[in-house]
Amino acid sequence: MALNIKRPNGTEDVIPKNVHKWHTVEKIARDTAESFGFGEIRFPTFESTDLFLRSVGETTDVVQKEMYTVMAKESKFTLRPEGTAGAIRSMLQNGLLNEALPQRVYYIVSCFRHERPQAGRLREFHQFGLEMAGSSSPAADAEVISLAQTLLNRLGLKNIKLYINSIGCPACRAKYHDTLRTYFSAHKTELCETCQDRLIKNPMRILDCKSPICQEIAKDAPIILDYLCEECSNHFENLKGYLTKLGIEYNVNPKIVRGLDYYTKTVFEFVTTEIGAQGTVCGGGRYDGLIEQLGGQNTPALGFAMGIERLLLVMDKQGCDYLTPKKCDIYFATMGDAALEKAMELSKSLREYGYFAEYDMMNRGLKAQMKYANKIGAAFTLVLGDNELSEGKAKLKEMEKGEETQIALDDKFAAAFEEVYFNKIMDVMETESGDGGLLSFMGGDK
Ligand code: ATP
Ligand code: MG
């Protein structure tokens, strides 16, 4: 019977043969964040809807069009559309901001947005994100951008451009909003309905509208950089200086305002042109007002989020290396019940040593078992039959070269296997030229 219930539109499955790609990104992301002093934080998949209304902002696409909100009895909850709100809520609720500053957290989470599904745009997607709270220095902005750049490099990604901008503080933005209102008012009837409303409430949001007509009108709009106050302007200049010092190439793009309302001063995006229209793999910036807005003390903070599906699209496209998926170290081909029981016993001891061991569970004949061992790419095989059992030894076969080694089937079996296994590894290392990239970074942990 055909399966007639399919996964919802805009969601994806990850099956075992592809999961190593996710593990690669997750491991390198964690290692990189931790090497910059960030610790992992975990928080709920859903939060009170109010949290997102107050942080993401009522005039954003996310809040106006994309949230999955449910009524549960009397309470209204929303599946998180992004990570910052929940991470900051959790930092506040757990008193992290009363401890030594800066507080640095990272997370790998699923996010939910009701968008039109297409390549790189899903309804359930995953973010690697991080937040740093407590520092108002542009050195913190440079640090966070540098972390993102380091991670993209370690993943082996190329041709990703960094765009930066400053959208100022509430003081410089007030003046800018007035100028924008005047500019867009001249085009009021051409703007989409949402933007006509934004014209009054939050004209800067129009710059982020996805409608081609609004985008065309926004092309000639005044730019925020001309309206920055002295403090914001200095902050931006200092950040540029630090990025240059760190050897990080950037482009100033005054059109970047980011899709969430909480940003102040620095905003940035890492963008690729290689996966079509959905090319922003990382977006972030400073949000100095958010923590106070959520009921904490006035604490400057900043962060970024990377879309993991988009990272993987680019990695696939560019043929980046992934961690090698774990393969079967040894397959026991068995004949008869006694041999099967021996294979169980030997597998148990090997697994305690950390090896990946398998034996037949399909009642197959010897030939079919060997075919299976080949198919799964087992590094070694060992045939066990009555003869081997009565002699107490068997031939361990290395599958690539076909070399065979006698091995005793006693309680030193796992140790003896380990010796043969290490010799094989040494052999491979001597014949293969060293991989300078991913594998050496992983410290051989593959
Ligand atoms: P976009 O302009 O592409 O809609 P955004 O500004 O809405 O992006 P952010 O809220 O900044 O995105 O989210 C951070 C990152 O999460 C994005 O840069 C992107 O890589 C990823 N992302 C956002 N929305 C989606 C989605 N619907 N599907 C897959 N990844 C997404
Ligand atoms: Mg979006």
Q: Helix (H, G, I), strand (E, B), or coil: what is residue 56? A: coil
Looking at the fold, whether 363 and 291 belong to one and the same domain comes out as: no
φ and ψ at 280, to 5 degrees? Answer: -80, 110
Bond before 44 cis per omega within 30 degrees: no
Looking at the fold, whether 309 and 334 belong to one and the same domain comes out as: no
In the chain, how many domains are there?
Answer: 2
Q: Give the number of C-alpha atoms closer than 13 A to the C-alpha of residue 254, restricted to the C-beta side.
A: 12
Closest residue CA from atom 23 of ligand 1: 307
Q: Helix (H, G, I), strand (E, B), or coil: what is residue 377? A: coil
Residue whose CB lies within 8 A of the most ligand 1 atoms, among 61, 68, 109, 125, for a mutation test:
125
Q: Which ligand does the CA of 127 lie closest to?
A: 1
Cα(20)–Cα(230) distance, rounded to whole angstroms?
48
Rounded to 5, what percent of the chain is helix, strand, coil?
A: 45, 20, 35
Whether residue 212 lies inside any domain: the answer is no
Looking at the fold, whether 336 and 377 belong to one and the same domain comes out as: yes
Check pLDDT > 70 for residue 443: no
Q: Are 166 and 267 in contact (CB under 8 A)?
A: yes
Cα-trace Rg, the chain: 28
Cα(284)–Cα(229) distance, rounded to whole angstroms?
21
Whether residue 222 lies inside any domain: the answer is no
Which has the closest alpha carbon to 351: 383, 387, 369, 326?
326
Angle, helix 413-431 to helix 337-352, in steps of 10 degrees? 60
Q: Which ligand does the CA of 311 lie closest to?
A: 1
Q: For 322, left (φ over 0), alpha (ψ -120 to 50), or beta?
A: beta
Q: Are 265 and 285 in contact (CB under 8 A)?
A: yes
> What is the structure's pLDDT at 433?
56
CA–CA distances in Å: residue 268 to residues 66, 306, 352, 353? 22, 12, 48, 47
Residue whose CB lies within 8 A of the most ligand 1 atoms, among 255, 257, 278, for a mutation test:
278
Looking at the fold, whether 234 and 286 belong to one and the same domain comes out as: yes
Residue whose CB lies within 8 A of the most ligand 1 atoms, among 310, 311, 312, 313, for a mutation test:
310
Domain limit, last residue, from 264, 291, 318:
318
Domain limit, last residue, from 318, 345, 360:
318
Write out pLDDT tens, residues 278-306: 899 999 999 999 999 999 999 999 999 99
Counting from 1 in the atom list of ligand 1, the atom nearest the Cα of 61 is: 7
Write out pLDDT tens, residues 116-136: 999 999 999 999 999 999 999
Å from CA of 363 to ligand 1 middle: 50
Closest residue CA from atom 9 of ligand 1: 283
> What is the structure's pLDDT at 223?
94
Looking at the fold, whether 255 and 337 belong to one and the same domain comes out as: no
Whether residue 102 lies inside any domain: the answer is yes
Q: Which residues surround ligand 2, an ion (CB under 5 A)?
A: 259
Q: Are 88 and 301 in contact (CB under 8 A)?
A: yes
Domain limit, last residue, from 318, 353, 370:
318
Whether residue 223 lies inside any domain: the answer is no
Looking at the fold, whether 336 and 432 belong to one and the same domain comes out as: yes
Whether residue 122 lies inside any domain: the answer is yes
Cα(327)–Cα(19) distance, rounded to whole angstroms?
13
Looking at the fold, whether 300 and 371 belong to one and the same domain comes out as: no
Cα(281)–Cα(263) distance, rounded to whole angstroms?
18
* DSSP label of 118: B
When pLDDT is averaged across residues 354-360 and rounded to a whole number, the result is 98
Note the helical H segments in 132-229: 138-154, 170-185, 193-201, 212-218
φ and ψ at 181, to 5 degrees? Answer: -60, -45
For ligand 1, residues with CB inside 6 Å are 82, 113, 115, 120-122, 125, 127, 259-260, 278, 280-283, 305-307, 309-310
Write out pLDDT tens, residues 97-121: 999 999 999 999 999 999 999 999 9
Write out pLDDT tens, residues 16-36: 999 999 999 999 999 999 999
CATH of the domain at 379: 3.40.50.800
Whether residue 175 lies inside any domain: the answer is no
Looking at the fold, whether 297 and 355 belong to one and the same domain comes out as: no
Check pLDDT > 60 for residue 436: no
More confident residue, 64 or 238: 238
Say if strands 380-384 and 330-334 run parallel, antiparallel, or are unpaired.
Answer: parallel
Looking at the fold, whether 237 and 334 belong to one and the same domain comes out as: no
Cα(318)–Cα(309) distance, rounded to whole angstroms?
14
Write out pLDDT tens, residues 38-48: 999 999 999 99
Which has the closest alpha carbon to 250: 137, 149, 170?
149
Q: Which residues pair with 165 in a beta bridge?
A: 267
Looking at the fold, whether 352 and 242 belong to one and the same domain comes out as: no
Looking at the fold, whether 299 and 340 belong to one and the same domain comes out as: no
Q: Which ligand does the CA of 308 lie closest to?
A: 1
Query: What percent of the chain is modeled with pLDDT above 90?
Result: 86
> What is the structure's pLDDT at 260?
78
Closest residue CA from atom 26 of ligand 1: 121
Q: Helix (H, G, I), strand (E, B), or coil: what is residue 125? A: strand
Write out pLDDT tens, residues 208-263: 888 999 999 999 999 999 999 999 999 999 999 999 999 999 999 998 988 777 89
CATH of the domain at 91: 3.30.930.10
Range(s) of the domain holding residue 378: 330-442
Whether residue 200 lies inside any domain: the answer is no
* DSSP label of 186: T
Closest residue CA from atom 24 of ligand 1: 121
Looking at the fold, whether 308 and 395 belong to one and the same domain comes out as: no
Q: Helix (H, G, I), strand (E, B), or coil: what is residue 222? A: coil
Which has the closest alpha carbon to 52: 38, 43, 62?
62
Whether residue 224 lies inside any domain: the answer is no
> What is the structure's pLDDT at 1?
67
